[in-house]
Amino acid sequence: MKLGEHAISDSAINASQSVRKGAQIRFKETAIALIFILPSLAGFVAFFVVPAVRGLYISFTDWNLLTPSKPVGLANYAALLTDPDFWNALKVTVFYVLWNIPLQTVLAVAVALVMNAAAKSSLLKGVILLPWLMPNVVVALLWMWILDPTIGLINVAVKALGGPLLPFLSSPGMALPTIAGINIWRYLGYTALLVFAGLQTIPTDVYEAARIDGSGERQTFWRITLPLLRPVLAFVVVTSVLGSFQIFDTVAVTTKGGPINATKVFNYMIYQQAFERFQMGYATAVSMVLFLILVGVGLLQMKLLRAGEVET
C-alpha cells in the first residue's frame, strides 16, 4: 500500500499507478472478504462438502466399521432393489406423507383464515406456534402419555363412555396415522403462520371489489383467495412434503419402527442399518436413494403446482 501512496505524486506514471492501485484495493478487499467467509467456508467444507462426497464413496463400499472396507461397485444399490425392508420403508414413508400433509395443509388454511379474521391475533399466533417450538421428543412423549392404552386420558375416557380400546401406537394399523396426527399437531401452527403471511399479501381492495360485485364469502374464498394463495401454498406444500419424508424423531421415541415394521420409515431404516447393524455402505446407499427420491418429488411437485398457474 505504501508503494502506491508514494507513486501518486509522480504524474508521469500516475495513470498506470492508479490502475495498479485499483488492483491493490481489489486485492485487499478480496483478502478481507476471505477472512470474513473463511470460518463459514471451513465449516461448510468440513461438515457439508466432504461428508457428501465421502457418503457417496462409502455407498460404493461394503464398510461395516469392523473389517476394512473394499469397493463393491453398485452392489449396495443392487441389493436394495431386492430388499423387502427397502420397499417397506418406501411404502411406509409414502403412506406417512399421505396421512400427514393433506390434512395438515387443509387445517392450516382454515386456521390461517381464523387468524386473518382476528383483529389482533398476536396471542392466538403465539399460542398456536408453541407446539412447533417444542422438541419432537417432548411432543412425542406428551402424546404417548395421553394416548396410552391402559391409563392414558383418551382411552380411559373412551372406556368410561363404553367405547372400544384404541391401541393407537401399539397397533400396526393405527400407529402410522397416530404419528402423523402427532406431527400435524406440532406443525399446524407453523404452517398456518406461513399461509397467514401469504393471506396478508393479498391486497384488501381485491376483496372490496369482489364484495361490490356481489360475491359471497364462500365464492370469494374459492375464486379469489385460493388462486391468489397458490404460490404460497406451493411453497408450503413442497417444503412440508420434503420435511415429512424425513421424519425420524417421533418414530424413534414412540414405536422404533414397529409394530411389525408398520412405522419403519426411511430415516429409521437407515439409522438401524448404520448404527445397529453397522452396515455403513448399505445405509449410505439407501440415504443416497432417499436423496434422489426427494429431488424427484420436489421437482415433480413444483411442476405440478406451477402447471396451469394463472398470471396475476
Partner 1 sequence: MRLSRTARILFWIAVVVIAVVTLFPFYWTLRTALTFPRGVFAHPTMFLPPEPTLGNFERVLGLVDAATSVSLGGSGQKINFFIFLRNSIVVSTLITVGQTFFSAAAAYAFARMRFPLRRQIFGLYLSALMVPGIVLLIPNFILVKTLGWLDTYQGIAAPAFLMSPFAVFFLRQFFLGLSRELEEAALVEGAGRVRIFFQIAIPLSATALATLAVITFIYSWNDYLWPLLVGRGESVRMLTVAIGIFRQQGAQNIPDWAGLMAGTTLAILPTLVLFLALGKRVINSIGFTGFR
Question: Alpha-carbon Rg of the chain, whole angstroms?
Answer: 28
Contact between residue 247 and residue 175 where contact means Cβ atoms under 8 Å apart: no
CB of 204 to partner 1, least distance (A): 9
| CB neighbour list of residue 114: distance below 8 Å, 6 or more residues apart | 124
CB of 102 to partner 1, least distance (A): 19
Kindly report the number of other CB atoms within 10 A of residue 278's CB atom. Answer: 14
For the record, the C-alpha cell of 131 comes out as 407446539
CB of 150 to partner 1, least distance (A): 9
Quickly tell me which residue has 399479501 as its cell. 201
Residue closer to partner 1 (CB basis): 13 or 65: 65
| Amino acid letter, residue 205 | D
Contact between residue 155 and residue 101 where contact means Cβ atoms under 8 Å apart: no
Residue closer to partner 1 (CB basis): 136 or 261: 136
CB of 296 to partner 1, least distance (A): 12
Residue closer to partner 1 (CB basis): 8 or 49: 49
CB of 18 to partner 1, least distance (A): 17
Residue closer to partner 1 (CB basis): 72 or 194: 194
CB of 215 to partner 1, least distance (A): 14
Quickly tell me which residue has 404460497 as its cell. 232
CB of 223 to partner 1, least distance (A): 17
Rounded CA-CA distance 44/154 in Å is 47
**Residue 56: exposed, middle, or buried by beta-carbon count in 10 A (0-12, 13-18, 19+)?**
middle
Question: Max Cα separation, the chain?
Answer: 102
Closest CA to 80 of 308, 229, 281, 245: 281
The residues pairing with 61 across neighbouring beta strands, listed in sequence order, are 71
Residue closer to partner 1 (CB basis): 176 or 269: 269
Q: What does the buried/exposed string (b/e) look like for 103-123 if buried means 16 or more CB atoms within 10 Å of the residue's CB? A: ebbebbbebbeebeeeeeeee
CB of 29 to partner 1, least distance (A): 6
Residue closer to partner 1 (CB basis): 33 or 304: 33
Residue closer to partner 1 (CB basis): 11 or 122: 122
Residue closer to partner 1 (CB basis): 78 or 146: 146
